[in-house]
Amino acid sequence: MKFTIHHQDEVTSARTGEIITDRGTIPTPVFMPIGTRGTVKAVSTEELNSISAKIILGNTYHLYLKPGHDLIGRAGGLHNFMNWNGALLTDSGGFQVFSLAKLNKINDEGVEFQSHIDGSRHLFTPESSMEIQQHLGADIIMAFDQCPPGQADYQTVETAVERTSKWMKRCSVYLTENQGIHDWEQNVFPIVQGNVYEELRQKSAEELIPFATCGMAIGGLAVGEEKSAMFETIEQMDELLPKDQPRYLMGVGRPTDLVRSVKRGVDMFDCVLPTRNARNGQLFTSHGIVNIRNEKHKEDFSTVDEKCGCNLCKNHTRAYLRHLMNVNEILGHRLATMHNLTYYMDLMETMRSEIAAGIFDEWSHNYLKFMLDHKGM
């Protein structure tokens, strides 16, 4: 895998670039739709291609439980299993183990947990996470890390930082000693932890940088901390992480947060927000949030967003979408999901264009100023 920077903003840390994988080229900054169980909910791979999605995210924890990584490996990897020709990133499973499963025991060996599906007992270790991800075959795989709760005390976060470093070493050893089962390159991203504690973030970054060959992730944010503290941490990471490698900010996804983070040198994002909120009737638009289930849209025969080129905005009205959502028609979920993903893809394309044109600072100032009055953006 190779990362090349094409444009660097003169005022901010924003930059454009491209990540070259065996499955294709990914322009950055980039937003990655989440395909938790081998699909972006309600959307086909053909539809993802139609909005120029170049990389999507799969979930190691969920795919391990169902249908199983061995089966996906026999299918030729997750790309083949879901008929996706673009790039894939899989997380390590660590976040879901800590947030979804019934956690029984965590120590330096790994994490013992009960499945949230059937209560069966499992053990995730750095080695098993790497083995599972080798079978899934993503182009970018994540190191196994410990993500402490957002309000965790200093000692808890310090333990997580130390354990994450130990686990990164074990991930590296496993990958060195065990060749993958597929014939394309897989690149592992270390995940910097430390919550909002500056010295712990620095310690984590310094210990993990030696393991980074083409990318690092910023984990443990957007988990309940103050927004100002989150951006202070991102600024710190901009100073500490290698400039010549992509930076991946995990789980941060509000449009204004993406813009603010790009200003601080972040290249990659993922979040369930556009797809989950779409299924709940919340749409992201150039005018701010539209809650389509609201009564005021009952007889609104205008388009959702006249600046959007998605199927919903070209062919249907707010009143029609509200009807579909209120009677729980699958088409409503599909139209809303594609609209939100189109908004996100267009936003990233706009940012890349403004950076390349040398006017990103002015554009981002105007965008953030306009969206300041639009709650939820």
CA nearest to 140, candidates 83, 216, 73: 216
Residues of the chain with pLDDT > 90, as a percent, come to 89
Query: How confident is the model at residue 102, as a pLDDT?
Result: 67
Sign of CA dihedral 49, 52, 53, 55: positive
Domain 2-270 part of CATH 2.160.10.10: no
Q: Residues 49, 86: contact at Cβ < 8 Å?
A: yes
Domain ranges of the chain: 2-270, 278-371
**Cα separation, 309 vs 50, whole angstroms:** 11
Catalytic, 91? Answer yes
- Beta bridge pairs of residue 31: 269
Query: Distance between terminal CA atoms of the chain?
Result: 33
Query: How confident is the model at residue 101, as a pLDDT?
Result: 58
Query: How confident is the model at residue 324, as a pLDDT?
Result: 98
Backbone φ and ψ for 138, nearest 5 degrees, come out as -65, 155
Query: How confident is the model at residue 169, as a pLDDT?
Result: 98
Query: How confident is the model at residue 100, as a pLDDT?
Result: 66
Residue of 91, 145, 267, 305 marked active site: 91
What separation in angstroms does the CA of 8 have from each of 4, 16, 28? Answer: 11, 7, 12
Catalytic, 270? Answer yes
Q: Residues 216, 189: contact at Cβ < 8 Å?
A: yes
Query: How confident is the model at residue 151, as a pLDDT?
Result: 84
Question: What does the pLDDT look like over 250-298, one tens digit per residue?
Answer: 999 999 999 999 999 999 999 999 999 999 999 999 999 999 999 999 9
Q: Residues 265, 240: contact at Cβ < 8 Å?
A: no
Distance of CA 52 to the CA centre of its chain: 16
Residue ranges of the chain whose pLDDT lies below 50: none
**Cα separation, 24 vs 94, whole angstroms:** 27
Residue of 145, 238, 257, 270 marked active site: 270
For strand 30-32 and strand 268-270, is the pairing parallel, antiparallel, or unpaired? parallel
Angle between helix axes 255-263 and 360-371 (nearest 10 degrees) is 150
**Cα separation, 34 vs 57, whole angstroms:** 5
**Cα separation, 80 vs 166, whole angstroms:** 33
**Cα separation, 196 vs 151, whole angstroms:** 10
Query: How confident is the model at residue 335, as a pLDDT?
Result: 98
